[in-house]
């Protein structure tokens, strides 16, 4: 089976073609980072318009590079949520229209399921069951994954997602958009032992997260050491970034170790934009090894939003017999636990 995947949930336009016999044939991604940098964050209307401009040229490019014709395809998968409603509508309408015009089945894919399954695209993929840490700008969740669509929520953020906290802390330090990767880069120049930031909700049972208090603690520290221009000196900013990153990473690692023990699984999958964080990967591999568990990630280019994960997830669902109707429906808010697990 060969499937065209389309991803337009936020600020990246992704297209890919996945073949069950040959693997990932090709993919292309256009990031809108430069477009939104001027505003310090994603502007939904601008994101939607840019998807309109870039999506079909990317589809043509990927099909040309992979020597794929419409007759070679067996289906089209598109992200239907969660995400920005206007951005989702661009990909959903295009995917549904192409499927109708080419006489192909189409399937709506859950964005976070795409992330969860992205490590399956690697040479050494994980196998079910496993615990998944989905950690991005919009989500921080621990999920017990038994099979395709068979997901049980173990814990989630009660306020800011980890990626969102990274971005907000970056703004406190006057770092450019996108803030999370820039804060991580600044943290490499800092002394992580100068400040000790709290590890929220790790002193009590459970697997939920909360990063709003850590965000407030960071702001208080920035103001405490601020100079005439409103910011601490360069080294102090780096030290604050390092302390913040240490706190977030430690919190995630502690909760992941708990989740492994509670579930009884010996595999952890980490996916989403924050999964590219180098310190998080290093700590998880070290601490999970003590639990006798292995850790799996997608390659760095598939940590952020991309069409490859949608093509793969869509392929699995099409193989399992799932089809979407002719009506174009998107869900800006869509709990992943509502997905049909009877297909696995």
Residue extents of the structural domains in the chain: 2-118+302-338, 128-297
Q: For the sheet containing 12-19, what is the strand order?
A: 23-31, 12-19, 2-7, 75-81, 106-110
Same fold, 2-118+302-338 and 128-297: yes
Residue ranges of the chain whose pLDDT lies below 50? none
- Known binding residue 263? Answer is no
- Known binding residue 115? Answer is yes
Fold of 2-118+302-338: Nucleotidyltransferase; domain 5 (3.30.420)
- Known binding residue 138? Answer is yes
What pLDDT is attached to residue 340?
A: 77
What pLDDT is attached to residue 342?
A: 65
As to burial, measured by CB atoms within 10 angstroms (0-12 exposed, 13-18 middle, 19+ buried), residue 222 is: buried
Length of the chain: 344
- Known binding residue 305? Answer is yes
- Known binding residue 307? Answer is no
Give the integer Cα–Cα distance in Å for 223 and 334: 38
- Known binding residue 42? Answer is no
- Known binding residue 153? Answer is no
What pLDDT is attached to residue 4?
A: 99
Name the CATH code of domain 128-297 (choices 3.30.420.40, 1.20.140.10, 3.30.830.10, 3.20.20.140): 3.30.420.40
What pLDDT is attached to residue 344?
A: 59
What pLDDT is attached to residue 193?
A: 96
DSSP 176: P
Own/partner pairs for 67-70, CB < 8 Å, 24+ apart?
68/2, 68/4, 68/17, 68/25, 70/102, 70/104
- pTM for this entry: 0.95
Q: Report how far apart the first and last C-alpha atoms of the chain are (Å, whole number).
A: 18
Q: Please, what is the Cα angle at 11 between 142 and 153, to 5 degrees?
A: 15
């Amino acid at each position: 089976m060969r499937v065209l995947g389309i991803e337009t949930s936020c600020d990246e336009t992704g297209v890919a073609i996945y073949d069950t016999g040959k693997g990932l044939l090709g993919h292309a991604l256009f990031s809108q980072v430069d477009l939104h940098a001027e505003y310090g964050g994603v502007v939904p209307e601008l994101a939607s318009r840019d998807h309109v401009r870039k999506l079909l040229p990317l589809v043509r490019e990927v099909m040309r590079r992979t020597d794929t014709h419409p007759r070679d395809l067996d289906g089209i998968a598109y992200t239907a949520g969660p995400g920005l409603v206007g951005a989702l509508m661009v990909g959903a309408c295009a995917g549904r229209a192409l499927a109708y015009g080419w006489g192909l089945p189409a399937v709506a894919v859950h964005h976070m399921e795409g992330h969860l399954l992205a490590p399956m695209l690697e040479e050494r993929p994980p196998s079910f069951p496993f615990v998944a840490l989905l950690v991005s700008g919009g989500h921080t969740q621990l999920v017990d994954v038994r099979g395709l669509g068979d997901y049980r929520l173990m814990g989630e953020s009660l306020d800011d997602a980890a990626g969102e906290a990274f971005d907000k802390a970056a703004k406190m330090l006057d770092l450019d958009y996108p803030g999370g990767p820039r804060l991580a880069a600044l943290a490499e120049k800092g002394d992580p032992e100068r400040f000790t930031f709290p590890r929220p909700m790790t002193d009590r049972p459970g697997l939920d997260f909360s990063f709003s208090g850590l965000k407030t603690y960071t702001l208080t520290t920035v103001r405490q050491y601020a100079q005439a221009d409103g910011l601490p000196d360069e080294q102090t900013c780096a030290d604050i970034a390092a302390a913040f990153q240490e706190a977030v990473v430690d919190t995630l690692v502690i909760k992941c170790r708990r989740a492994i023990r509670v579930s009884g699984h010996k595999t952890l999958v980490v996916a989403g934009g924050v999964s590219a964080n180098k310190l998080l990967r290093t700590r998880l591999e070290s601490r999970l090894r003590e639990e006798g568990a292995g850790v799996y990630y997608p390659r760095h280019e598939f940590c952020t939003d991309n069409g490859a994960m949608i093509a793969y997830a869509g392929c699995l669902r099409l193989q399992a017999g799932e089809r979407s109707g002719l009506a174009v429906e998107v869900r800006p808010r869509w709990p992943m636990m509502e997905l049909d697990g009877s297909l696995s």
